[in-house]
Structure 1
Amino acid sequence: MFSVALSEEKEPSVRVVLGHFIFVYIHPYMDGNGRTGRFLMNLMVAAGGYPWTVIPVERRQEYMVSLEEASSKQNIAPFAEFLAGLSNADSRAKRPRSFLQQANSRAPFNQHDQGLNY
């Protein structure tokens, strides 16, 4: 179900947010899920034509809280907003409108999202 949703999604920003969340939610490995998820997220970022996004270690708690909100309360908006905030803070990238800003403004990422059950 998720792989179909990701493969059919046209907007790279939405694929990035959902792809990272889905991988971390599945939690397929004993160790390294977060690192692998962030790496996969950046592969999707690069595939969309955007520069890589780094989650600073000093913002790890905020990152974890936003993922927990998506997982336990079926509300992915804080995670999308967190990633968009990272993208906005990176003014060195000189992108007109970041892919994460597009993801955050494009769809209502919450439990009411049509066709996706988190």
Structure 2
Amino acid sequence: MIRDYPIKISNSKYIPPSSGIEQKLESLIVWYEKNRNEMHPVYLVCLFHFHFVSLHPFGDGNGCMCRILTNLILYKSDYPIFDIAYKTRQGYYRALESANLKKDEMSFISWFFTR
């Protein structure tokens, strides 16, 4: 169920939006559909992943759902799965945090492409 209440992500200064989540999620899906044949699949999935996880549309399970969707998109484009190894997990969280707080998705994109 899409949340309609504010949440706090543990160990993060970033606070996801608490209103209009359903519309933002629909916009993300429309954006994906519009761009899936126009953008390189890895760049597309990186942006989709960042915006989905930043939206944090559910009360729980956002990371798991995001990884499933990310890997589905990669699989459909004949790319290997995206796995965040335990040793790189903190870097992943830092990249998300930085990109969200600065409102600059390039911080996350840079991390994604250099890992």
Tell me, yes or no, whether TM beats 0.5: yes
Give me the identity figure in percent.
34
Counterpart check, 1:2 vs 2:28? yes
How many residue pairs get aligned? The number is 86
Structure 1 letter corresponding to 2:79: Y
TM-score normalised to structure 1 length: 0.65
What is the RMSD of the two structures over their aligned residues, measured on CA atoms?
Answer: 1.5
Q: CA deviation at 1:73?
A: 0.9
Greater share of helix: 1
Counterpart check, 1:77 vs 2:106? yes
Q: How does 1:37-116 map to 2 (within 5 A)?
A: 37-86=66-115
Name structure 2 gaps, 5 residues minimum.
Answer: 1-26
> In the aligned structure 1, how far is the partner of 2:110 from the partner of 2:72?
20
Q: 1:2 to 1:28 in 2, by over 3 A?
A: closer
Q: CA deviation at 1:50?
A: 0.6
Could you give the per-residue CA deviations for residues 24-60 of structure 1, whole angstroms, max 9, x where no partner exists?
Answer: 1111222221121112111111112111121111111
Q: Which runs of 4+ in 1 moved over 4 A?
A: none
C-alpha contact 1:45 1:51 (8 A) present in aligned 2: yes
Name structure 1 gaps, 5 residues minimum.
Answer: 87-118
